[in-house]
Amino acid sequence: MKTFLLFIFLIITSLATAKVEPPNYDFSLDQFADFNPGKKIADIDKKYGNKKLSFSNGRFKTYQFYIEHIRYKFIILVQTENDTVTDFHARLPHYFLHDVFHQSLINRFGPQDIYKKVEESAVYIWKNKKGFNHFYSGACTITCFPIFYAVTPPTSPKGDYKPLISRLKEQEGLKEK
C-alpha cells in the first residue's frame, strides 16, 4: 500500500510542475524606443497620455510618464527642448531581475564600455551604441535588482544642456566634486 501511495504521489507531483516566469519576462527594450532623443513629446503624449510637467529649467522641460503593463508600472522622466526629447531616465521596478535586464542590454548593444562598482551598486555604460549613450545601474543585497536606465545623445547639444541623469544627481545633493 505504501508503495502504491508513493507511486501515485510521484505521478501527481510530476504532472504538477509549472514554469515560473520572472516578473519582467515579457519586457522589451523596444518599449523605450518611443522616448529616445529626437522624438516629439506630442507623439509620446498621444500614445501614453497623462503627461505631467515635473520641472522646468530654462528652455528644458522634464515630463513624467508611466510605462504600464499587466505585471509592471514604472515612471519615466523625459527631458525636452522645443518639444523634442533630449534624453530620458527610467526608474525600473526592483522586482525586475538584474540578470535578465542586463543580459538584454548586452544582447542589444554588446559588452558595456564602462563598468564601475561602488559597494553593492554598479553602473554600466554603453557609449554611442545605436546612436545613443546608454546608462544602466543595478544593485545587489540578498538578490540583484535594477535601479535605473537612462539614454542620452552621444554628443551634448550646444548651450546649457545637461543630461537628465546629471540634473537628478544635483537635485539629490549628489553633485560630483
The per-residue pLDDT for range 131-151, each reduced to its tens digit, is: 899 999 999 988 889 999 999
pLDDT band at 177 (very low <50, low <70, confident <90, very high): very low
DSSP single-letter state for residue 32: G
The burial class, CB within 10 Å (0-12 / 13-18 / 19+), for 139 is middle
Structural domain count of the chain: 1
- The verdict on residue 54 lying in a domain is yes
Interval 51-84: pLDDT, tens? 899 888 888 999 999 988 777 888 999 999 999 9
61 inside domain: yes
Q: Is 20 part of a structural domain of the chain?
A: no
pTM of the model: 0.80
For the chain, strand residue ranges (E) read 52-57, 60-68, 73-81, 84-91, 114-118, 121-129, 132-140, 144-152
Give domain status of residue 141, yes or no: yes
Q: Is 86 within the bounds of a domain?
A: yes
**Kind of pairing, strands 52-57 and 73-81?**
unpaired
How far lies 140's CA from each of 25, 34, 99, 106, in Å?
A: 20, 29, 11, 19
Could you give the residue ranges of the DSSP H alpha helices within the chain? 2-15, 41-48, 98-109, 164-171
Q: Is 1 contained in some domain?
A: no
Q: What digits encode the pLDDT tens for the residues 123-132? A: 999 998 888 9
| Alpha-helical regions (H) of 58-113 | 98-109
| CA–centroid distance for 99 within its chain | 13
Check if the beta carbon of residue 95 is closer than 8 Å to that of residue 23. Answer: yes
Residue numbers of the domain that contains 141: 25-171
What average pLDDT does this structure show over 85-109? 90
User: At residue 152, does pLDDT exceed 60?
Assistant: yes
How much of the chain, in percent, has pLDDT values that exceed 90? Answer: 44
Give me the mean pLDDT over the 23-40 stretch.
Answer: 82
Specify whether the CB–CB gap between 47 and 34 falls below 8 A: yes
Residue 45 maps to a domain: yes
Residue 37 lies in a domain: yes
Identify the pLDDT of residue 21: 57
Residue corresponding to grid cell 535586464:
101
